[in-house]
Amino acid sequence: MSELHSMLRTMKTAHIDAGPADISTRKQRLKKSIALLKDNYTALCGAMSDDFGHRSHYQSVLADIMSAIGALKHSHDHLDEWIKPEHVDDIDGGIQAWIQQQPVGVVGVISPWNFPLNLAFGPLASIFAAGNRAMLKPSELTPRTSALLKELVAQYFDPQELTVVTGGADVGKAFSALPFDHLVFTGSGAVGKHIMRAAAENLVPVTLELGGKSPVVVDSDYDITIAAARTLTVKTFNTGQICMSPDYIMIPEGSESAFQAASAEFIEQSFPSMIDNEDYTTIITDRHFARLVAMLDDARDKGANVVSLAPQGEPDYDTKTRKMAIHLIFGVTEEMDVMQEEIFGPLFPVKTYTQLDDTIEYINAHDRPLAAYLFSDNSANQDKFAQHTTSGALVINDVMTHASLNDLPFGGVGGSGIGAYHGLHGFREFTHAKPVVVQTPQGESGLRLRAPYSQETLEAMTSFLDA
């Protein structure tokens, strides 16, 4: 038996032997996670920055540390209410019934590099609240962060509660083949398919948090300057390396120059410099950087009009520092790589439309996105867009706001994922809702099933059917 198998077996045995984790154990695990992040956030942010090349400290504190602590604290503060058994009233014949919230057991978590702590502790906030133990496999693309996380988890947790396994795709492959009680994967759709196949061998339930091309649509009534500023606020965050980052934008025909001017003004104000700007994050690896440069070249070669928003006097991109400016790409066609793949970087295709219906049709002709963003003050258009497009989430007049509201389910649909977590929805995702029924001493409902079957009951049933 492999080392991973025996680790999992030990944790499963500990889970069964200890019985379901009570509220205080669950809260302790949540508190230990919070303490780990609070006590070590400087070192963790340093490790993330070293892994990226340069990672904005502000972004790391906000999106990896604070948001993870927020999710853990939310679970801690709501657990008493979530954990209560749900009683079912008014059942005929005096039967009592309730739904018991039972931990599933040991959950596997595979996380990506783009928010290495948020996407490890975010799922753990739900997994621990639900009374489970976990094995975590962070990304090999953030090696320093993953190594530090492994070391810290060993300091703060009993290895039977939470264990970190480091390694690349090979380890990921072996990890996803383990007979967990549930497996959560956050990453690309391509790897997501391998995960689901591997999990199917053991019939392990999966939560797949994937990515995709999240569209932004600006209605003709909406102020394009506000739409550009709100959209680029998120597109520049982590330099577009976010699963629900705006992937492309659709604006009314004729508003291209207004959008370009508003975008340029936003960049000038937010990022007057790029290469030496501490707020501007690098592209994670040379391979990811080269891919983005190739996408730009491909768009240019196929006839797009590429507009770089690099600050004056600075290059469009710099191979040495792996910093890359926002590029608006006008005149895109479906053949271009930027319209074929999730971009995951600072390239921003701009499409135009004449009727809002065209945008709905376009979105529906593609994979269901993780998020859709509509800028519109027209309530009929808001409603139509909400009803006729399907995405993991819809945000109106802003971008990505949904991810920080702990009471909303977070997840994709179709190509962007399966299942959802955050808050109560996460608690339920990793909890088995077990119906428990207590029969009355007379046990009358069971008697209907017992032979010899009575002609009288049969007639009562058939007269109901024939009525």
Task: Using CB under 6 A, pick the residue from 18, 169, 261, 433 that binds ligand NAD.
Answer: 169
Residue 436's nearest CA partner among 115, 153, 102, 206 is 102
Q: Does 206 bind ligand NAD (CB under 6 A)?
A: no
**Helix axes 23-52 and 118-129, enclosed angle (nearest 10):** 170
Spell out the residues 6+ positions from residue 186 whose beta carbon is closer than 8 angstroms to its own: 110, 111, 112, 119, 123, 209, 210, 243
In three-state secondary structure terms, 201 is helix
Task: Using CB under 6 A, pick the residue from 140, 316, 341, 398 that binds ligand NAD.
Answer: 140
Is residue 217 within 8 A of residue 193, CB to CB? The reply is no
Which span (158-166, 204-212, 223-231, 418-426) binds ligand NAD, by CB under 6 A?
A: 204-212
Q: Does 292 bind ligand NAD (CB under 6 A)?
A: no
Q: How far is the CB of 34 from ligand NAD (least distance, A)?
A: 21
H/E element holding 252? strand 246-252
Cβ-based burial of 102 (10 A; exposed 0-12, middle 13-18, buried ≥19)? middle
Which span (11-19, 28-36, 50-58, 184-192) binds ligand NAD, by CB under 6 A?
A: 184-192
The whole-angstrom distance between residue 87's C-alpha and the CA centroid of its chain comes to 32
Q: Does 187 bind ligand NAD (CB under 6 A)?
A: yes
Is residue 263 within 8 A of residue 326, CB to CB? The reply is yes
Q: Does 194 bind ligand NAD (CB under 6 A)?
A: yes
User: Does residue 45 carry a catalytic annotation?
Assistant: no
Q: Closer to ligand NAD at the Cβ: 99 or 174? A: 174
Residues 392-421 that bind ligand NAD (CB under 6 A): 412, 417
Q: Does 186 bind ligand NAD (CB under 6 A)?
A: yes
Spell out the residues 6+ positions from residue 383 whose beta carbon is closer than 8 angstroms to its own: none
Q: Closer to ligand NAD at the Cβ: 68 or 306? A: 68
Task: Using CB under 6 A, pick the residue from 74, 137, 213, 351 that binds ligand NAD.
Answer: 137
Task: Using CB under 6 A, pick the residue from 173, 425, 428, 432 that binds ligand NAD.
Answer: 173
Q: How far is the CB of 117 from ligand NAD (least distance, A)?
A: 12
Q: How far is the CB of 127 from ligand NAD (least distance, A)?
A: 15
Q: How far is the CB of 403 from ligand NAD (least distance, A)?
A: 8
Q: Closer to ligand NAD at the Cβ: 59 or 114? A: 114
**What CA dihedral angle connects 135, 141, 147 and 148, to 10 degrees?**
-100
Q: Please tell me which residue in 140, 161, 201, 243 is annotated as part of the active site.
A: 243
**What CA dihedral angle connects 192, 183, 145 and 246, to 10 degrees?**
40
Q: Does 168 bind ligand NAD (CB under 6 A)?
A: yes
Q: Does 342 bind ligand NAD (CB under 6 A)?
A: yes
DSSP 399-429: SSGGGG-TTS-B---GGGEE--BSHHHHHHH
Q: Please tell me which residue in 3, 151, 161, 209 is annotated as part of the active site.
A: 209
Residues 366-385 that bind ligand NAD (CB under 6 A): 370
Q: Does 110 bind ligand NAD (CB under 6 A)?
A: yes
| Cα end-to-end span (Å), the chain | 62
The count of residues in the chain is 467
- Name the amino acid, one letter, at 378: N
Q: How many residues bind ligand NAD (CB under 6 A)?
A: 29
> Which residues are known to be catalytic?
209, 243
Contacts with ligand NAD, residue ranges (CB under 6 A) = 110-114, 119, 137, 139-140, 168-169, 172-173, 176, 186-188, 191, 194-195, 209-211, 243, 342, 344, 370, 412, 417
